[in-house]
Structure 1
Amino acid sequence: MSRIWLLVFLGGLVLPGVQHVSGIDIYTPAEVEAVNGTYVKLKCTFTTSHPVSLQSVTVSWNFRPLNSGSEESVFYYQEVPYPPQQGRFKGHAVWSGDILRKDASITLHEVPPTFNGTFICQVRNRPDVHGSNGEITLKVVTRASLSEIAILAAAVGGACGLILIILGVIVGIRLCKKKGAENDVELDTREKEWKDPTVW
């Protein structure tokens, strides 16, 4: 019995010093590919241990180019979106998230090759401000990748093949009906010949 009281006493001394450390978990795809001049959505979602409100959450998007380690601001959100007013992302970055749904995504319009690099999504939900950032590597290419072209070609080829099969079936049915009708006429003529004694 004395051991139990000793453990309770020691636990009472230790527990007040232990604090629950909450954190934000951020989810992004590791890599995204976009064709030069098109638009691309940079998906960023998060989970947090505290209630989410438009006033408590801030979102920062930053960019780290391939050729340098210095980051530059892409987008900022606090109650309302703050798109960039200068720099390479002016007129290109648009808010496409929904804070109440825990979505901090943005969309980039008319992406040029200078957008090749790493985009960093940082979300804070006061007092929950701890957690790692989400990082997306964007690759801007001049044309669609082989896998995208192959999928498109397979879809078009499959549709054309299906149309040809349907047309073949329709033509085959019509030919069978026509041949059947010709056979019926020929049989009728022969029957008349057999029944009519005046026909030689």
Structure 2
Amino acid sequence: MSRIWIYLCSALCALVLSGVYQVKGMEVFTSSELEAVNGTNVRLKCTFKSTLPLSEERTSVSWSFKPLGKTTAEMIFHYQEIVYPPMDGLFKDHAVWSGDVMNGDGSITLQDVQFNFNGTYSCQVRNPPDIQGFASEISLRVVQKVSFSEIGILAIAVGGSIGFILIILTIYIIVRVFRRRDYDKGVEMEDHRSKEMLRESE
């Protein structure tokens, strides 16, 4: 009877250790911070590695969002073989799938980002029995779009500076050229006088 218990305990320990190894095998990677211009599209990149073969049927990707100043997060996107986009709320028609689980990519794209998209986005990937306990997080900051007038002012300032430098360089080159000509003429006249004096002395 004791031998049976030893075999059962050994088998159970092997399963437990195997399970722990598999759990620790899932790795998820994202950038820690990201910046996007208001009204543009931004890709929230999430890549992962699993100790087990990936499968469209088994591998799942979940994204959650925690607004600035909030302590709780809400699920905004899920993928497992097919896309489960948000049907209502802040991210309806904004969050789209742009990943490829078979290549270890669980990314989504936020279209037409708004200022209320500021916050923390968490990517969690599962590939049972290989799971990932801690989601990888991205802090997104949405910034004001640069207006056309600001771009125009910047272009004028840069163009004006370059134009001023070119004018200074042109004046410098012209002055150098004229000074060189005057110097050459002076040398030529001096040579001519020297030759005339030599002729008169002969």
Gaps of 5+ in 1: 1-10, 145-152
Structure 1 equivalent of residue 77 of structure 2: 75
CA gap 1:52/1:174 in 2 versus in 1, 3 angstroms = farther
Partner of 1:184: 184
Q: CA deviation at 1:85?
A: 3.2
Higher-helix-fraction structure: 2
Shift of residue 59, structure 1, vs aligned partner? 0.9
- Residue 114 of structure 1 is matched in structure 2 by 116
Q: Distance in 2 between matches of 1:97 and 1:128?
A: 19
| Amino acid in structure 1 at the alignment position of 2:87 | Q
For residues 118-168 of structure 1, the C-alpha deviation after alignment (integer angstroms, 9 at most, x for no partner) is 322111123323432122333434479xxxxxxxx9xx98x9989977876
Q: Could you tell me whether the CA contact under 8 Å between 1:35 and 1:142 is conserved in 2? A: yes
Using the aligned pairs only, state the percent identity.
Answer: 39
- Aligned partner letter, 2:60: T
Stretch deviating more after TM superposition (161-170 or 43-52): 161-170
Q: What secondary structure sits across from 1:124 in the alignment?
A: strand
1:96 aligns with 2:98: yes
Structure 1 residues 165 and 32: CA distance shift in structure 2, 3 A: same
Q: CA deviation at 1:93?
A: 1.4
Q: CA deviation at 1:37?
A: 3.0
Quick one: which amino acid aligns to residue 72 of structure 1?
E
Letter in 1 for 2:195: K
When the two chains are superposed, the root-mean-square deviation of aligned CA atoms in Å is: 3.8
Runs of 4+ in 1 over 6 A off after TM superposition: 159-167
Asked if the contact 1:25/1:131 (under 8 Å) is kept, the reply is no
2:142, 2:194 → 1: CA distance? 83
Match of 1:46 in 2: 48
1:4 matched residue in structure 2? none
TM-score of the two chains, using structure 2 as the length reference: 0.65
Q: Structure 1-normalised TM-score?
A: 0.66
Q: 1:126 aligns with which of 107, 125, 128?
A: 128
Aligned equivalents of 1:160, 1:96: Cα separation in 2: 43
Contact 1:121 1:135 in 2 (8 A): yes
* SS class of match (1:137): strand
Change (3 A) 1:188 1:29: same
The structure-2 alpha-carbon separation of the partners of 1:15 and 1:171, relative to structure 1 and needing over 3 Å to count, comes to: farther
Report the CA distance between 1:193 and its aligned residue. Answer: 2.9
For 2:95, the aligned partner's letter is A
Closer, same or farther: CA 82–14 of 1 in aligned 2, 3 Å: closer
- Number of corresponding residues: 178
Amino acid at match of 1:27: F
The correspondence for 2:34, drawn from 18, 25, 32, is: 32
Distance 1:66 1:177, change over 3 A: closer
